[in-house]
Amino acid sequence: MTHARAYQPADRTVIGLASRGVFDGVEAAILRTDGERLLEQGPAAFSPFSRAEKTFLRRAAKAAAEGREGAQDILDATQAITAAFAAAALRLLDERAVRPGEVDFIGFEGPEIHASNDGTPWRVCDGPRLARETRIAAIGDFGHAFDAPYFSALALMSGEARAALRLGDAARIVCPPATDLEAPLAFDCGPGLSLIGEWMESKTGDSIDREGKAARAGRVDDDVLRLMLANPYLKRPPPKQMGPRDFKIGPAAGLSLTDGAATLTAFSAACAARGAERLPYKPSAWIVCGPGRRNPALMEELAARLPGDVVAAEDAGVQGDFLEAERVAYLAARTAHRLPIRFPMADGAPHAMTAGEIFLASASANAVR
């Protein structure tokens, strides 16, 4: 990222650090933002976790699942992953010849493990240590904040009325506010890749329909599709988050490999189209993010069913593989500016709310809410 011009007071240069999956590694990305607009997307890099770091995480996940909150395994994983996060940030700065003093702060979100008692997610990362090791203030612990603020800003980058569609296991729509007085709308509209993956694994042992080949070779069964579209989840108003029991592949059980793949792919796209009907206005385009953007058959179904143009993240000028790191950087910037990151129509918050904690770089600093 270049630093040729003087920054305006509200401009911030932020490094976002996020875990790609639980055991894969660290995404690091530099973002310049004022907490509302995305002013510049900078360089990014991925650092895989070492074998030892993955072992620490697996032991921590087991301890959490067994309800051992203060277990040494969790403490060991926290220290190891924090060191990996700090190293990833400093490596990116070094490779790009950016001094730590040119970065305002780091946003971070560690790997997620789940407690056994209520399924509450824990994030494995130590904010104070991260700040000390990088000599940069760190902002994290965003709680239940979802992705609505960042993806709303992303969708508004061109000045057009675009929406974002994230295709992971679930398909999630993020719609920017129609006016400055409104908040973003975000909700899971249905399955993204979850049913397709479950189907492919049951038939082939591989959970991916690579390049959409199976779906493209099959035919959509309209009767099965209509039956699946009667799912009560699709009638629920947003905000809503898809659970593991909301959708099943059962209705497609009698279909061939290819016809089942085609039907479930069409179903994911049809759910997105149903979700689009819930929006306060018709987007001019859809920015498709997440791994589902790499499935040509799914992208074709979306283009056929959604109103407006359907474009993959990269075709919209977005670094599709580093959106989690950029999202965390953006949440950190909003936290620093005391801007809300939770909204009633995005994650069910009672009202627009701030969240997150700031950890200063000095060894003796305390977290500030």
The boundaries of the domain holding residue 89 are: 12-144+322-359
**97 part of a folded domain:** yes
User: Does residue 365 carry a pLDDT above 70?
Assistant: no
**369 part of a folded domain:** no
Q: What pTM does this model have?
A: 0.87
**229 part of a folded domain:** yes
Give the residue, 347 or 198, on which the prediction is more confident. Answer: 198
**259 part of a folded domain:** yes
Express as a percent the part of the chain with pLDDT over 90.
Answer: 77
Cβ atoms of residues 23 and 58 within 8 Å: yes
User: Does residue 60 carry a pLDDT above 60?
Assistant: yes
H or E element at residue 269:
helix 257-276
User: Does residue 116 carry a pLDDT above 80?
Assistant: no
Give the residue, 353 or 8, on which the prediction is more confident. Answer: 353
What is the rounded distance in angstroms from the CA atom of residue 90 to the CA atom of residue 94? Answer: 6
Looking at the fold, whether 222 and 344 belong to one and the same domain comes out as no
Cβ atoms of residues 208 and 231 within 8 Å: no
- Write the CATH number for 252: 3.30.420.40
Looking at the fold, whether 173 and 219 belong to one and the same domain comes out as yes
Looking at the fold, whether 159 and 303 belong to one and the same domain comes out as yes
Which residues does 50 contact at the CB level (< 8 Å), separation at least 6? 84
Looking at the fold, whether 212 and 332 belong to one and the same domain comes out as no
Cβ atoms of residues 267 and 183 within 8 Å: no
Mean pLDDT of 142-146: 75
Looking at residue 114, its pLDDT comes to: 75
